[in-house]
Structure 1
Amino acid sequence: MSSLISSLAWVKRGAAARHPKKYVLDDRELERVSALARIELEDAKTELARAHEAAKSMGKGAEGTEADDTGEEEDDEDAWVDEDDDAMDQDDPAPKPKDDLSQYNLDEYDDDGPTADLGPFSNIKGLQYYRDNQEDPYITLKEEEEDNEREELEVYPTDNLLVTAKTEEEVSQLEIYVYDDSSENLYVHHDLMLPNFPLCLEWLDFPPTTSSSSAAEASPLAGFGNYIAVGTLDPEIEVWSLDVVNPVYPDAVLGRPDISNAHVPTPLGTGKKKKKKTKHRPVASGWHVDAVLGLSWNRTHRNLLASASADRTVKLWDLSRCSPGRGGDENMEDGEASSGGAIRSFEVHKDKVQAVQWNEREPTVLLTGSYDRTVRTFDSRAPDAGVGAVVGADVEALRWDPWEAHSFYVSLENGMVLNFDARTLPSDLSSAPSSARFMLQAHDGAASAIDVNPHIRGCIVTGGTDKMVKVWNVTEGEKMSVSLVTSRDLGVGKVFAASFSPDDPLTLAAAGSKAKLQIWDVGANFGVRKTFAQKLKQAGKELKEREKSSGGVVGVEDDDEGSERGGGVDED
């Protein structure tokens, strides 16, 4: 796939700085970047000084500054003579008396003196370069230009930010959108370049220890901020500030680069016929050694970030103890954790771990799903006492139910969506698979995305590779039941991400294989309003009944598409 959006994340209203800061590459930032990137700054300065001296010596004659073949050093500059042939033919004439030149004031030739009135150009002393436009007295529109730029970058407290992990023609980046619900306006605010293909995103408000000064200044409150954690095909996790425009390096990097040959697949078996399966990479406890597939930030213990990886491990990171450099010392043995590495490593699965999430009601409990076709839930303080379930297919996504501390949803590669009660799950998965509270064939292809509405109990959204986004109503009683409320092809291609807004009960975002982001106000559908009206009232939420000129779908229009917005028709 040459163009796609693999993941998206909402930023709630009021979390972003109203006036984002412009990135400043000063000495302090250079030192921070050099520490993160493991650049030997002193060596670079030494080489720069040598180059500077070499440039200065370019005018000292054909001999340069190096010693000759005899090993003798150069003469001092004062001992140099003019090698012009005519210069040695005759003696220099006797100098003229000083009085003959005094009338020209040659000693004061370079001094700036009073100048004659030259009309409109009387203040111009010559062409001069100003490092900053603020210092140039002839640029008179500085304040107006700054005001215009400040207004263009302004994020209002009523705006949501959306972050997408986008790859287009082998170029990966984060695109930060601003969404104004009142005016149905969605536009790209700025973007950030990424070093590799992004796989997952997680928003957090906790500033990592290695945050730059510009990011800290952008935060309205000490200890809070507006950050996005990014997992890519690299084994590292990057944390970027969303309140700084056009930064060139992340605020923190968790883990370390894969400097070994572990990224080179090694086939199993011997002889001419090789098995397709490759060897697993050696696991390290202090960092990941393969792609990061899932991230989850702990909203109670705000300094904790959990990550799931293709190296079959789940790792726990302390954002308050990030080292200045990358986590993990190259000289340490595998299995040892460094001061800047992961604080815990869990090996609870036998294959790639696709997804991970903290339980908001029990903030020490983790839920994980893997390609070994199992899900696990365990307390991070005692992982050996966890429970789990066999689901019968590769796990695509999972979510805790925010309305029930013990309930969670799982979406699978075969299009199924399951709901489990963690209290009934066994600790031994070798026994018969545990029965789910309900099983739903949600999509014809893989059910690649799922989310649970934080405002309306029993409202979930799923997205699949069949290009459909579906909203479901789950009702509880003697037996749980689930029914389809509405579905739509939003024109994003195969759906890889679908998520409810943190502020509006019936607004969701979806993205997929066409590298497009679409906002869908499902409240524009009469069937949705009728189904969830009572639940909204019980939750103390008011349903906004307003006409949507776009039929409830808002996106960034392409020049080629004109007024087309998310094709397809609602299915009531």
Structure 2
Amino acid sequence: MISSLAWVRKGAAQEVPARVKLTDEDFSRISAQMGDQLKLAKDDLAAMQDDDDVDHDATHSDTDMEAAVPEQAEITETGNELDIYKLDTYDDDEEADSDGPDEDGRISLFSKVRGLAYHNSNKEDPYIELGDSDEDDELDEMRISPTDNLILAAKTEDDISHIEVYVYEESEDNLFVHHDILLPSFPLCLEWLDFPSGNYIAVGTFEPQVEIWNLDTIDSLFPDVILGALPSSQTSAADKKKKGGPLRTAKRSNAETHVDAVMAISWNTVQRNLIATGSADATVKLWDLNRPETATANYTPHRNKVQAVRWNKFEPAVLLTGGYDKRVCAFDSRAPDTVAMWKLSADVECLLWDPMHSERFFVSTEDGLVKAFDVRLGTTITHTAGNKSTKNVNEPVSDSLFTLHAHDSAVSAMDLSPFADGLLVTGSGDKNVKVWSIKENQPICILSRDIEVGKVFSANFSPDAPYTISLAGSKGKVIVWNLEDNANVRRAFPIRQHRQTVPTQSKEPRKELVAMEPDDEPEDDDADDVPLDDEDEDEDHV
């Protein structure tokens, strides 16, 4: 399944991505950050093995043990024949083995990797003899044209999660996987950013940290930045003594880091060093990318999991949030004591600011509705010290500019064209994708189709083309849908005004749907029912 998509605008990607080359400083930095996690994993494994040994000893009788003695003796008798191969000392090294813990008790992540020789080019490797043409072909395969988009897909199959980096060649209607990035946990959300200037993707997963990966580097072993990765020196001794260690203690919210899954990420395109995140721990946090270890601000406008966060590009300090407490909140991140709130009939699935009108936003919900609101007309609530709401939220559902019964199940995907005013696309667990005109707050469905991605989990318009949208869902494949030549869309919107001038080498008409089929991945009909916690199965969603 694919849980989230993100576009990279044309020209943002490096033409030929670099291969990772770690320095000694990089090894030290990564080992220090990962040492505690590796030690905890090893301790947990040892504890499990000890428990298994106890159970094994309790269930075996003395007669079973006696029966095993002759077999052991028989093995010992043949031991002399194998001594010549020195199998007992095969793994020993004359030098100190770096596989053990360091002086601080941490386990090195790269104990067996640092000694490996790596060459940036095959020409530098004395053991590889390739002609220039072979290396040129390899470079051509890796090359990304300035006219190409990247599409990033958060994909999970066979319990393995990764980000697939697709190249979309619009002029050729071609889509293919360029490279991928392995992830440690199930991905929930993606957000592209270019701070510092570059090409990065922020990933929210079931872990409480946010990983930021450099998309211009392939074969990376570790993200460039981790939001919320506290140094091991800040881990208390009391936490280390608890069973399972500091990463597995009871979840207790704090102002510095998330303690549960990160469900939403929004990058501020004006204040480019700022990222907002929403979490299953019911908090919204503000991060400064210049000092990513801890959050710079902590907000608690919701009383349940925070599903969506969005910055307003016209008012860059205003943040819109939605949660599983059936409400949407808007507030100034510099003065969060006053919050505008809208009560809904169901939990929030998606949030959008209108890219053409700064005062309007849209929310989709679990009961299949899409609603439009004016940010100036919300119910005002205030916070006291500790950010606890002082007003009872058991209020009637807020009035909206319009309410649209879009689908028969949760509207899990929604996006607005950044160029064509009023062009809305929604997707749902009912497997249908619908195209709407919402001009003058009068929604009209102009197109509905099952495009065979399964349950639709993500829909994102291209940042460069007003009528091109990517979609993905439970079948684990990405579809790029070109709406420009659809007759219904052409009647509803002035296509000529936004005509996509794409040079093509083929005289054939452009494809309406562009896809790359997955490797026979079966559709997971229960993919949208993955719980964030075992005890919350009845209320959680992807």
TM-score (norm 2): 0.73
Q: CA deviation at 1:313?
A: 0.2
Q: CA deviation at 1:34?
A: 2.1
Q: Distance in 2 between matches of 1:444 and 1:315?
A: 33
Q: Distance in 1 between matches of 2:519 and 2:337?
A: 55
Q: CA deviation at 1:135?
A: 5.2
Partner of 1:226: 199
Is the 1:134–1:142 Cα contact (8 Å) retained in structure 2? no
* Residue 33 of structure 1, aligned match among 30, 35, 55: 30
Partner of 1:248: 221
Q: CA deviation at 1:431?
A: 4.7
* Residue 447 of structure 1, aligned match among 387, 411, 415: 411
Superimposed CA distance per residue, residues 505-540 of structure 1 (whole angstroms, 9 cap, x where no aligned partner): 100000001111111001121111121126x62xx5
Q: CA deviation at 1:147?
A: 1.9
Matches within 5 A, 1:331-480: 340-428=293-381, 429=393, 431-476=395-440, 480=441
Superimposed CA distance per residue, residues 215-262 of structure 1 (whole angstroms, 9 cap, x where no aligned partner): xxxxxxxxx000000000010100000000110110011114897779
Are 1:287 and 2:234 counterparts?
no
Partner of 1:531: 492
Identity %: 47
Q: Secondary structure at the match of 1:34?
A: helix
Q: Distance in 2 between matches of 1:516 and 1:462?
A: 18
Q: CA deviation at 1:139?
A: 5.3
Q: Secondary structure at the match of 1:439?
A: strand
Is the 1:36–1:253 Cα contact (8 Å) retained in structure 2? no
Q: CA deviation at 1:32?
A: 3.0
Which one has a bigger Cα radius of gyration? 1
The two structures, once aligned, show a CA RMSD in angstroms of 2.8
Partner of 1:119: none
Q: Which consecutive residues of structure 1, in runs of 5 or more, have no partner in the other structure?
A: 42-49, 56-128, 208-223, 267-280, 323-339, 562-572
Q: Secondary structure at the match of 1:524?
A: coil
Q: Distance in 2 between matches of 1:40 and 1:527?
A: 54
Matches within 5 A, 1:297-336: 297-322=267-292
Q: CA deviation at 1:28?
A: 3.2
Q: 1:350 to 1:548 in 2, by over 3 A?
A: farther
Q: Distance in 2 between matches of 1:463 and 1:245?
A: 32
Q: Which residue identity is paired with 2:410?
A: A
Q: Distance in 1 between matches of 2:199 and 2:151?
A: 12
Partner of 2:453: 492
* Residue 159 of structure 2, aligned match among 165, 170, 184: 170
Q: CA deviation at 1:385?
A: 1.1
The farther-off stretch of 544-553 and 183-192 is 544-553
Q: Which residue identity is paired with 2:418?
A: P
Q: Secondary structure at the match of 1:182?
A: helix
Q: CA deviation at 1:406?
A: 1.1
If each structure's helix is expressed as a fraction of its own residues, which one has the higher value? 2
Q: 1:144 to 1:414 in 2, by over 3 A?
A: same
Superimposed CA distance per residue, residues 74-129 of structure 1 (whole angstroms, 9 cap, x where no aligned partner): xxxxxxxxxxxxxxxxxxxxxxxxxxxxxxxxxxxxxxxxxxxxxxxxxxxxxxx9
Q: Secondary structure at the match of 1:33?
A: helix
* Residue 21 of structure 2, aligned match among 19, 24, 27: 24
Q: CA deviation at 1:502?
A: 0.5
Q: Distance in 2 between matches of 1:131 and 1:193?
A: 20
Q: Secondary structure at the match of 1:19?
A: coil
Partner of 1:186: 175
Q: 1:524 to 1:265 in 2, by over 3 A?
A: farther
Aligned length: 424
Partner of 2:148: 159
Q: CA deviation at 1:549?
A: 6.0
Q: Which residue identity is paired with 1:412?
A: T
Is the 1:365–1:379 Cα contact (8 Å) retained in structure 2? yes
Q: Which residue identity is paired with 1:235?
A: P
Q: Distance in 1 between matches of 2:228 and 2:501?
A: 45
Q: Which residue identity is paired with 1:489?
A: D
Q: CA deviation at 1:392?
A: 1.1
Q: Distance in 2 between matches of 1:419 and 1:484?
A: 16
Partner of 1:482: 443
Q: Distance in 2 between matches of 1:26 and 1:265?
A: 34
Q: Secondary structure at the match of 2:443?
A: strand
Are 1:505 and 2:475 counterparts?
no
Q: Distance in 2 between matches of 1:395 and 1:253?
A: 27
Q: Distance in 2 between matches of 1:205 and 1:523?
A: 29
Q: Which consecutive residues of structure 2, in runs of 5 or more, have no partner in the other structure?
A: 39-91, 98-115, 382-392, 522-542
Q: 1:38 to 1:136 in 2, by over 3 A?
A: closer
Partner of 2:533: none
Superimposed CA distance per residue, residues 363-382 of structure 1 (whole angstroms, 9 cap, x where no aligned partner): 00000000000000000011
Q: Which residue identity is paired with 1:304?
A: L
Q: Secondary structure at the match of 1:190?
A: strand
Q: 1:205 to 1:131 in 2, by over 3 A?
A: closer
Is the 2:171–2:502 Cα contact (8 Å) retained in structure 1? no
Are 1:556 and 2:516 counterparts?
yes
Q: CA deviation at 1:485?
A: 1.4
Q: CA deviation at 1:137?
A: 6.2
TM-score (norm 1): 0.69
Partner of 1:235: 208
Q: 1:484 to 1:156 in 2, by over 3 A?
A: same
Q: CA deviation at 1:39?
A: 6.5
Q: Secondary structure at the match of 2:380?
A: coil
Q: Which residue identity is paired with 1:469?
A: V
